[in-house]
């Protein structure tokens, strides 16, 4: 009886390359500045990877389905504001209540994106950039640009807690678990396979009875909710609501770059969440290394831009053939369909 050949999967070169790059960056940093390998630095990097990773999981899941969300950072910022304000109004409540409020806001904001893109057929690219601007404007209006203090320190501990004496924060473990759950959904459930299918060829998927608009709507909402979680983690780190604290670093672009670096196709239909996560690790380690090596900020900015271009280039190369079914048979003299 024939069996599935589970081991026959092609080697995941992309992940190997990413890991090698991370190792190379660490090695160079260690050689140039051995003193920088401290528990404190490790903790800092892991914390940044954590909140970016949460956003990255949402963004890459959506990207695989063929959608895109440029409003993720704006959603996260607004969610932080919701959390801050709920805490201010009712400081006695346990932190879970403002958290749920932030989560609800994120999901709602995601639903707005879905309504624009899937309901009104707007281009996701532009519609979500537009919504990002709207939400950022709302934050500016509400806060008048000022920092808001947290009414209590109920969530400070969220990012303070570490595993024993290691520099690994518990929130990182949470993100790793989140990644595992979402990876399983993508790779092993019918819903996850449908996400890949609608990203790969929405027309064919629709003809097969799948509902791309409905699936993408769920993913927009999911991205919004995860952005809210990302925001709460960031709030715990910054210990106060700073209107541009998150958006000034354009984490939505970082998440997107990392996602594509990790092998998720910009056009949808292909990719792994673990690859996206590795991409985030690489970008963070690299940018931290550049800072430790005291390179000026402009170099960091240029490097980030180049990374995005490299990621898109590898995606463009990989995409050849993925979307166009080969029109030629292996026989050279076959008739061609007319242009």
Partner 1 sequence: MEYLEFRNVGKAFPGVVALDGVSFTARAGKVVALLGENGAGKSTLLKILSADIKADTGKVVLSGKELSFSSTAQAINAGISVIYQERQLIPAMSVMENVFIGELPVKNGLVDFNRLFLDTKAIIDKFGLPIDPEATVMSLPVAYQQMVEIMKAYRRDCLVIAFDEPTAPLTDTEIDILFNIIRQLKEAGKIIIYVSHRIREIFQITDEIAVLKDGRLVKTLTTPETDQQELISAMVGRDIGDTYASLDRNGEPGSVVLEVDNLCTDAVDNVSFTLRAGEIVGFAGLVGAGRTEVARAIFGADRILSGEIRLGGGSVRFKTPRDAIKAGIALCPEDRKEQGLVLWASIRDNICMPVLHKLKKLIFLDGAAQDRLTQAAVEKYSIRTPSLWKRALELSGGNQQKVILGRWTSDEVATRVLILDEPTKGIDIGTKAEIYQLVCDFAKRGVGVIFISSELTEVINVADRIIVMHNGHITGEVARQDATEEKVLSLAMLS
For residues 65 and 196, give the distance between their C-alpha atoms in angstroms, rounded to a whole number. Answer: 6
Q: Which stretch binds partner 1 (CB under 8 A): 223-231, 247-255, 301-309, 325-333?
A: 325-333
The answer to the question of residue 125 lying near partner 1 (CB under 8 A) is: no
Residues in 198-217 at the binding interface with partner 1, rule: CB under 8 A: 200-201, 203-210
The answer to the question of residue 322 lying near partner 1 (CB under 8 A) is: yes
Q: How many residues bind partner 1 (CB under 8 A)?
A: 45
Q: Do 79 and 102 contact (CB within 8 A), yes or no?
A: yes
Distances (CA, A) of 307 to 1, 104, 226: 47, 34, 24
Between residues 81 and 205, which has the closer beta carbon with respect to partner 1? 205
Min CB(195)–partner 1 separation in Å: 11
Nearest one of 269, 247, 275 to 319, comparing CA atoms? 269
Min CB(267)–partner 1 separation in Å: 10
CA angle 123, 126, 128 (to 5 degrees): 100
Between residues 72 and 215, which has the closer beta carbon with respect to partner 1? 215
Q: Any residues with CB less than 8 A from the CB of 337 and at least 6 apart, and which?
A: 327
Q: Any residues with CB less than 8 A from the CB of 258 and at least 6 apart, and which?
A: 52, 56, 276, 277, 279, 280, 282, 283
Whole-number CA gyration radius for the chain? 21
Q: Do 224 and 82 contact (CB within 8 A), yes or no?
A: no
State which of residues 11, 92, 146, 190 lies at the interface with partner 1 (CB under 8 A): 190
State which of residues 142, 193, 244, 314 lies at the interface with partner 1 (CB under 8 A): 193
Largest Cα–Cα distance of the chain, in whole Å? 78
The answer to the question of residue 321 lying near partner 1 (CB under 8 A) is: yes
Min CB(197)–partner 1 separation in Å: 5
For residues 276 and 261, give the distance between their C-alpha atoms in angstroms, rounded to a whole number. Answer: 7
Q: Do 251 and 48 contact (CB within 8 A), yes or no?
A: no
Between residues 169 and 269, which has the closer beta carbon with respect to partner 1? 269
Residues in 170-189 at the binding interface with partner 1, rule: CB under 8 A: 184, 188-189
Q: Which stretch binds partner 1 (CB under 8 A): 164-172, 191-199, 213-221, 286-294?
A: 191-199
Nearest one of 324, 92, 295 to 200, comparing CA atoms? 324
Q: Do 208 and 193 contact (CB within 8 A), yes or no?
A: no
Between residues 165 and 190, which has the closer beta carbon with respect to partner 1? 190
Residues in 5-44 at the binding interface with partner 1, rule: CB under 8 A: 5, 8
State which of residues 178, 270, 282, 308 lies at the interface with partner 1 (CB under 8 A): 270
Between residues 121 and 336, which has the closer beta carbon with respect to partner 1? 336
Q: Which stretch binds partner 1 (CB under 8 A): 88-96, 225-233, 246-254, 317-325?
A: 317-325
Length in residues, the chain = 339
Residues near partner 1 (CB under 8 A): 1-5, 8, 184, 188-190, 192-193, 196-197, 200-201, 203-210, 269-270, 321-339
């Amino acid at each position: 009886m024939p069996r599935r050949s589970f081991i026959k999967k092609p080697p995941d070169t992309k992940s190997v390359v990413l890991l090698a790059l991370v190792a190379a960056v660490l090695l160079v940093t260690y050689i140039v500045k051995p003193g920088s390998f401290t528990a404190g630095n490790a903790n800092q990097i892991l914390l940044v990877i954590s909140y970016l990773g949460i956003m990255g999981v949402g963004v890459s899941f959506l990207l695989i389905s063929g959608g895109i969300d440029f409003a993720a950072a704006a959603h996260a910022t607004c969610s932080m504001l919701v959390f801050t304000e709920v805490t201010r109004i009712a400081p006695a409540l346990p932190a879970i209540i403002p958290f749920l409020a932030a989560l609800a806001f994120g999901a709602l904001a995601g639903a707005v994106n879905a309504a624009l893109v899937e309901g009104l057929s707007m281009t996701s690219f532009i519609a979500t950039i537009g919504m990002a601007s709207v939400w950022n404007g709302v934050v500016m209006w509400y806060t008048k640009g000022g920092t808001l203090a947290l009414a209590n320190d109920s969530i400070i501990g969220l990012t303070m807690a570490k595993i024993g004496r290691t520099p690994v924060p518990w929130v990182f473990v949470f993100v790793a678990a989140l990644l595992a759950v979402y990876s399983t959904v993508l790779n092993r459930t019918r819903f996850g396979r449908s996400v890949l299918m609608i990203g790969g060829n929405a027309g064919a998927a629709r003809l097969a009875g799948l509902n791309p608009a409905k699936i993408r709507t769920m993913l927009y909402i999911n991205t919004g909710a995860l952005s809210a979680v990302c925001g709460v983690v960031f709030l715990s780190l910054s210990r106060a609501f700073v209107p541009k604290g998150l958006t000034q670093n354009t984490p939505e672009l970082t998440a997107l770059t990392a996602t594509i670096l990790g092998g998720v196709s910009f056009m949808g239909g292909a990719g792994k969440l673990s690859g996206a996560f590795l991409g985030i690790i690489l970008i963070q380690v690299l940018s931290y290394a550049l800072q430790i090596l005291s390179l000026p900020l402009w170099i960091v900015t240029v490097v980030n831009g180049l990374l995005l271009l490299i990621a898109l280039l590898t995606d463009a190369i990989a995409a050849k053939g993925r979307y166009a079914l080969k029109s030629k048979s292996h026989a050279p003299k076959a008739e061609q369909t007319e242009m």
